[in-house]
Amino acid sequence: VLYLSNTPTKRGLKMIKTKLQKLLVIFSIVGLSISQTWAEDLKDIYELALINDPTFKAAEASFRAGKEYKVQGRAGLLPSLSISGSTGWNEYRLEETLLDEYNSNNYSGSLQQPLFRLDRWFQFKQGKALTQSAAAEFAYQQQETMIRVATNYFNVLYAKDSLSAAKAEVEAIGRQRDQAKKRFEVGLASITEVQDTQAAYDLSVVGRITREAQLDSSREALSAIIGGDLPLLSPLKDEYPTPPPDPIDREQWVKIGLANNFQLKAAHLNTTAAKSSARSSGSAHLPKIDIVGRVTKSTSRQGKFGGFIQNPLYGLESDNRQYAIQVSMPIFSGGAVSSARRQAYAQYDRSKEQTLFTERSVIREVRSNHFNVQTQSANVTARRQALTSANSALKATQIGYEVGTRNVVDLLQSERQLYAAQRDYAKARYDYVISVLSLKLSVGSLSPEDLFNVSSQMK
């Protein structure tokens, strides 16, 4: 607590100023630690996406719908039970003369168990394959969500890095412009030097505005996934490792992809379902045998038959029970059965070709992604060296400019090359992370643990 007298001394004011400066430093440190505590890493953003991303929610709903195919196919093999009932009021008239009026009730129940229904057996196998295909497709959608989250996350980080470099570029070139104006005023520089620095400054301002728009767009894209305002994002550590893929043999990755890629699994299962559908249509002309049981109970209070003969069953309940083996077989239906069979087998052929196309696409994607990881790994190393070289070149150019061996155009060019190298290095690191995740997606091994591992390498 600070106590101030009515007439503070010079020494007292100095002490107050010193204490206030210390408080400001403490508040700055506390604020920095709080902002770092509140920063969200890739794992946190992914967990928000699982809760709020509408694309993922739609995929989840499709999976729940797909699970019902197996249940519906199995239902065709199980017994079916139905009941019905009716009650009615009856009036018997002869030449407008009411002779009798009574109430009648009827209740019935039937039980049917398929005994030989080959078409329904194949429909069950079709539903089972479609349910498994829905599970594989949902697994792929989960992996695709990880890629979308990671891509948009690093797009934001790259946009922030680019904006920081653009602001630094504006500030550095602004200083060169101011120095050129002062040198021109004292006769040490020409008007050309002033104009060159002014033009470079204006272009750097345009670049900063472009980077600001890029950051805003990337933030909006990520916000649309997590369904809310974007928190502070944690950046990658400077020492984030960027090794080449392991194993380095590309064909080993291809084998893993052919065995585990979820899109390819879904395609194979869809082909199996199409084959079962074709066999179901092909067996539609076979006999259908069912065991059927029916029970019917009825009561009537009809007093007289024809209005004259007394009804001996008045008010009594009749019970009729029937048990049968029912056989039905289509003979001719206008060619509909044969047409449905040809159509189903044509769809099966189409599904086989689509599966072949998916298989070849997986092979191409695995090889391309494997090569991309190798390229990005080397690119990060090269960009890091290019950034070091750009720093050294700028320092050398600054010295040359001071002693008069280099002009202002050379200096501006070196500064622009340095900030471009900073942006390229940042982008190379983010592209490497995405390339590794994409390779794992193409071979079907991508999991949340991979995102957690990336998050563990964040500040």
Helix (H) or strand (E) holding 390: helix 336-403
Tell me the two tokens of residue 285.
């002309």
| Contacts by 409-417, CB closer than 8 A, 24 or more apart | 409/196, 411/176, 412/173, 412/176, 412/196, 412/197, 412/200, 414/390, 415/169, 415/172, 415/173, 415/176, 416/169, 416/200, 416/204, 417/390, 417/393
Q: What pLDDT digit, counting tens, does each position of 332-388 carry?
A: 888 999 999 999 999 999 999 999 999 999 999 999 999 999 999 999 999 999 999
pTM of the model as a whole: 0.81
How many other β-carbons are positioned within 10 Å of the β-carbon of residue 65? 10
Structure tokens given for 401: 């400019």
Provide the mean pLDDT of the chain.
88
CATH class of 42-77+117-156+218-284+337-456: mainly alpha
- Report the relative pairing of strands 317-328 and 309-310 from DSSP bridges: unpaired
* Residue whose entry in the numeric block shows the structure tokens 């999976």: 63
**What would the two tokens of residue 10 be?**
């010079």
Tell me which DSSP letter residue 457 carries.
T
Cα dihedral 395/398/399/403 (nearest 10)? 170
pLDDT digits (tens, 9 = 90+) for 42-78: 999 999 999 999 999 999 999 999 999 999 999 999 9
Say how far apart CA 258 and CA 248 lie, in whole Å. Answer: 17
349, containing H or E segment: helix 336-403
Q: The domain 81-116+287-303+315-329: what is its CATH number?
A: 2.20.200
Amino acid at position 357, single letter:
F
Strands in 165-307 per DSSP E: 288-300, 304-305
Tell me, what's the pLDDT at 300? Answer: 75
What confidence tens digit (pLDDT) does each residue in 221-231 have?
A: 999 999 988 88
Per residue in 296-311, pLDDT (tens digit) is: 998 876 655 555 566 6
| Percentage of the chain lying above the pLDDT 90 cut | 70
**Whole-angstrom distance, CA of residue 240 vs CA of residue 113:** 65
CA–chain centroid gap for 376, Å, is 24
Residue spans in the chain of domains classed CATH 2.20.200: 81-116+287-303+315-329
DSSP 264-326: HHHHHHHHHHHHHHHHHHHTTTS-EEEEEEEEEEEEE---EETTTEE-TTTTPEEEEEEEEEE
Residue entry with tokens 């070139």 = 173
CB atoms within 10 A of CB 331: 5
Tokens 């391309």 -> residue: 368
The count of other CB atoms within 10 Å of the CB of residue 305 is 12
Residues forming CATH 1.20.1600.10 domain(s) in the chain? 42-77+117-156+218-284+337-456
d(CA 220, CA 416): 29
- Residues 459 and 445: their CA atoms lie apart, in Å, by 26
**Do the Cβ atoms of 270 and 459 come closer than 8 Å?**
no
For 39-117, where are the alpha helices, taking DSSP H only? 42-52, 54-66, 68-75
According to the model, what pLDDT value does residue 298 have? 87
Kindly report, residue by residue over 180-216, the tens digit of the pLDDT.
899 888 888 889 888 989 999 999 999 999 999 999 9
For residue 123, which amino acid is it?
Q
pLDDT attached to residue 308: 57
Residue 113 φ then ψ, to 5°: -120, 120
